[in-house]
Chain A
Amino acid sequence: MRVLWVLLLDSFRMLRARRLFWVVLVLSGLIGLVYASIGFNEGGVSALFGLLAFESELFRMGTAEAKELYLLLFTNVIIPYWLGFCAIVLGLISCASIFPEFIQKGSIDFALSKPPARVTLFLGKYFGSLLFVLMQVLPFSLIVYLSLGLRFGDWNLSVFWAVPLVVLSFSFVYAVHVLISVWSGSMILGLFAALLVWGGSVLVEWGEDVSYQFAYTAPQLGIELDWEEADHNEVEPRESSEDFMVRIHWVLDAVRLALPKTRAVGGQMRSLIRVDEKGGGLAGKSLLALLLRDPIDDIPKRHSEVERAADQRHPVWKDLGSSLLYELAVAGLALVIFVRRDF
């Protein structure tokens, strides 16, 4: 246990010594500050502590929708784009050299000649790398928690779901980097492979999503697509489209199962971070849909049922479980290589 602590402390020192860590932390702080500066008054929304003002009927001080909008900005904009994408890319770049440097001649000799087992050394370095993202997301979530609490009196602990989920997302991508860099010793190759697998898995997730909409959502809403005319016709709702699209979806769904699901984890974050029961009923809606559809009551009930079914087609346990299994397999393989290798 003490050894693990020593390795984590070393990782913290390493992070502290990296300029990129501080750059990302400052950027995170600035984005957090901008987020905290958003407020609501009698007329609508204000930003930058009142410097900018936008009139709105729906989002005003004291309305549940204002509170949800505030939360949606966090779950649908900041988490997927800043913490879910930018922070992961920056984290990858920042942590890219950890394993390649660790296994370099002279450096690995020092570590391996000490009593701790190779497994302990590997896990210490691996979890130490995850500190980078943890230390970015944690203060950010704290800013959101305090902002929500101070602005709306809603001390919403569910915002802290962002911490483990963003760290998990990062670890899914980072595992590939570790495997390739332990195998090849090359930082660049590891980084390239991680970005490739990440991009590929996001593409598969997106493809599965789109194919599901064609195969199931559109038919269930009674929409038939006319590919030749690039138009759509309204028809009698049915369970699914023709076999071809269902088969494509089946294949993509199977491939998706085997890959890390960073996009889906972001989606789960939106469902886990909620306002209290007295909310405005916007949960599960995209921010764009929320801003375009006014008033919300106009959304037909069937539409929302079909959308909910689409949202719930991948249970949390399945997405997280299969992604964790993937990480376990990839990081496990890296560990086996590390343990068996002659350095």
Chain B
Amino acid sequence: MAVCAVDISGVEKTYRGRVQALRGVSLQVPEGSIFGLLGPNGAGKSTLVKILTTIIRPTRCRGSLLGSPIGHKPTLRKVGYLPEHSRFPAYLTGRQVIGYAAGLGGVRVTSEEVDDLLDLVGMSGGAEDRAIKTYSKGMVQRIGLAQALVNSPRLVILDEPTDGVDPEGRYHMRNILQKLRDDGVTVFINSHLLGELETLCDSIAILKEGQVVRQGALSDLTAGSRGFQVAVEGSLPEEAASRIRGLGHSVSEREITLQGADPGPLQVVLDALRAAGVVILEVRKSHQSLEDLFMESIVEKQDLREEVQRS
């Protein structure tokens, strides 16, 4: 079994006023992977991240962060964190923010190391010596990422890291995160941008109303809905269409969809199409997108709740 950077179970958080933000969350984040935490607004994502970083105290929590109990302050020396809507002291320059973060993190950094970090996040070239208050949102996020990496962390927790970052910056940030993963660092991302997470994450968890509704490796979660799609030229002759429908596949006017990863049935369909003289334009593998998986999970949960209410 893989070693987990984050391994928690039964995490509960009830705020004053009896708002139950988390209802027994259990989560495992494999070390050296990129993990995405998804969920609609109010699902409890930020609460969970804040519990991991000791900003909020859980009502109940079992488990560990980098092998130490949750809430163990010294362990945070090995953790980098970029908060959502981060607000660094406006009077500091980007360079000073990194130095300040290093000081709070209990690490000493040389100016060369700070330069390297600034280079890494694309903030060298003069802007780093300007006050933060003059920065755009994207620049603040870049500095935020740099300060999160200043202590050479084993776990980086990023809350909406690409918020306000331009497309080039996002691409750049993705590369940095992949490089971190390759270096054995665990990256924990909390984001709404499903497309971005899909290209980046090794595993994900979907949170809904304070509970984990889906969790696992992204490839495993989307495997059940793998299949093939065949596009044809013109309209499909009725005879061929009924034959293919008879094989259990869905057919539209110009496309045939096959469920399952086995290529055997695909060969039968292709033979049938050729026999009918149909011109095949494209055959492609298909799988469920993260967005589909996300929506399915959310709706499933909704249905389940309605069912419980009805009964």
Contacts and interface: CB of A to CB of B under 8 A. Distances in A.
Interface residues of A, number: 27
A110 B83 contact: yes
A1 to B, nearest CB: 11
Given A13-B91, A107-B88, A116-B73, A3 B54 contact: no
A242 interface: no
Given A10-B89, A13-B91, A106-B84, A343 B55 contact: yes
Contacts of A16: 91
A115 B50 CA distance: 14
B76 interface: yes
B86 interface: yes
A114 B85 CA distance: 17
A109 B54 CA distance: 9
A105 B105 contact: no
Interface string A1-12: 011011001100
A342 B15 contact: yes
A107 B73 contact: no
Interface in B54-76: 54-57, 73-74, 76
Contacts of B104: 3, 6, 111, 114-116
Interface in A5-60: 5-6, 9-10, 13-14, 16-18
Nearest to B74: A115
Contact of B83 (A2, A13, A14, A109): A109
Contact of A6 (B54, B74, B79, B100): B100
Nearest to B100: A10
Contact of B81 (A3, A9, A109, A116): A109
Interface string A115-143: 11100000000000000000000000000
A16 B76 CA distance: 30
B56 A107 contact: no
B274 interface: no
Given A113-B83, A115-B105, A108 B55 contact: yes
A112 B86 CA distance: 12
A109 B105 contact: no
B103 interface: yes
Contacts of A18: 91
Given A113-B54, A343-B56, 4 more contacts: A106-B86, A107-B89, A110-B88, A116-B106
12 contacts: A2-B106, A3-B106, A6-B104, A17-B91, A17-B131, A113-B76, A113-B157, A115-B104, A115-B106, A116-B104, A117-B73, A343-B50
